[in-house]
Copies of this chain bind each other. A is one copy, B any other.
Amino acid sequence: MSSPTVAQLLARRQHALGASYRLFYEEPFAPVRGEGVWLYDKDNTPYLDAYNNVASIGHCNPAVVRAIAEQSAQLNTHTRYLHPSIVDYAEDLLTEFPESLNNLTMTCTGSEANDLALRVARCNSGGTGILVTRWAYHGVTSALAEISPSLATGLPLASHVRLIDAPDSYRRSDFVDSVKAALQDMRNQGIKPAALLVDSIFSSDGVFSPADGELAAAVQCVREAGGLYIADEVQPGFGRTGGQRWGFQRSAVIPDLVTLGKPMGNGHPVAGVVGRSALFDQFGRQQRYFNTYGGNPVSCKAAHAVLRVLREENLQANARDVGDYLKQGLNALAGRHELIGDVRGEGLFIGVELVEDRSAQTPATQATAAVVNGMRQRQVLISATGPDANILKIRPPLVFTREHADLLLERLDATLQALR
């Protein structure tokens, strides 16, 4: 199945890195080069990347590569010295947010951003309780792992966590009611809420968009109970949802804290928390926060290059246009393939739920794995999500065009056909 080289590399990897490291696909993919929406293997075979939301403005985007190379050769140091790059970037980034969200703290990863947001929320609310969705994923630190049910089944969650339903438009959950019930349960247990923390596109839960007013109503309940609203924009942020720069903007309610990550540096490790200055002030009075690599000049120049390309190439508008086009095509496929139970998502963050039976909505977990692997065999990279891993996760770089969408649809059609 695998070439000797791949098999050897696999064995060496297993030996040196160990059991925590997993790979995608039955036949692991070994890219050697990336450009735009394409990843190439050693034989120069192109794979259409419809999965990687990190390389959001295209693999190896030359503006980012140049910014990293130039600044790395000039100076790379920490934020206890004064450097314009972090100030220039912060000011520019903050113009993309509602006026009340006027401070940025930089970290290196989305996990560090979410973890810091928890610390700031707990410091300001005086509470510990966190509300997250039933299949949430917010990162890999100790504090995030214990509020990320999707990380491992069977592991106990922290006692201060309450799970709420994602706003599931397909199976018709009641998001607001479940938030109310969770808050009531916290009251019963004497747990003071610190925050509602939600991924604005509910990616790990299965890709959902709250209905109009749903999020506002939920946040109002949380705020009345003394908790903050943290919007996890690590995945939906930076224009991916098409209609707006940040996923939370689909709702009128403004978060207290917003966490950023993945596409922020197009692959360079940079992330951050944006929020109201009063919250950071209160936190800063109690304790210092210093992140050695966070906000270094190279990271800031990389992130700034990403922001500029995003604007100059109108990638948010492209995400909306191509995302809508792709969803139309997926809905057309649903007319021919019974397996497709639902097509949803925003912009270029799309979920396609596969079911064994449309009326019973039985998750087609095995078939989904077969589709993901079948697509990989046809040189198109996607993955699966949701508690039953039965939802195709389609989340390409934002430089994806209608022609790329056509190619994806054609290969998906062939893959679904071959499964019959």
Residues of chain A whose beta carbon lies under 8 Å from any beta carbon of chain B: 6, 9-10, 12-13, 15-24, 28-34, 39, 52, 54-55, 59-60, 62, 64-65, 68-69, 72-84, 86-87, 90-91, 94, 102-105, 108-112, 115-116, 118-119, 140-143, 145, 151-152, 154-155, 261-262, 266-270, 277, 280-281, 283-296, 298-299
Contacts and interface: CB of A to CB of B under 8 A. Distances in A.
Contacts of A22: 80, 288, 290
Copies of this chain, how many? 2
B292 A90 contact: no
B142 A83 contact: no
A18 B276 CA distance: 10
A82 B13 contact: yes
B155 A142 contact: no
B77 A68 contact: no
A199 to B, nearest CB: 14
A142 B140 contact: no
28 contacts: A12-B87, A13-B82, A13-B87, A16-B90, A17-B87, A18-B105, A20-B280, A21-B79, A23-B80, A29-B81, A31-B75, A32-B74, A32-B75, A39-B77, A62-B73, A72-B267, A76-B266, A77-B267, A108-B293, A109-B112, A109-B294, A111-B291, A112-B141, A116-B140, A140-B290, A145-B287, A151-B287, A155-B286
Contacts of A62: 73
A76 B34 contact: yes
A56 to B, nearest CB: 12
A130 to B, nearest CB: 11
Given A12-B87, A103-B17, A143-B142, A269 B108 contact: yes
A112 B110 contact: no
Nearest to A267: B76
A17 B90 CA distance: 7
Contacts of A55: 76-77
Contacts of A17: 79, 86-87, 90, 103-105, 295
Contact of A54 (B73, B78, B299): B78
A307 to B, nearest CB: 14
Nearest to A70: B69
Given A24-B80, A32-B83, A109-B292, 10 more contacts: A12-B87, A17-B79, A17-B105, A21-B105, A28-B81, A33-B75, A60-B72, A109-B109, A119-B145, A152-B288
A65 B72 contact: yes
Nearest to A90: B16
Contacts of A13: 82, 86-87
A245 to B, nearest CB: 18
Contact of A75 (B34, B140, B268, B289): B34
A357 to B, nearest CB: 30
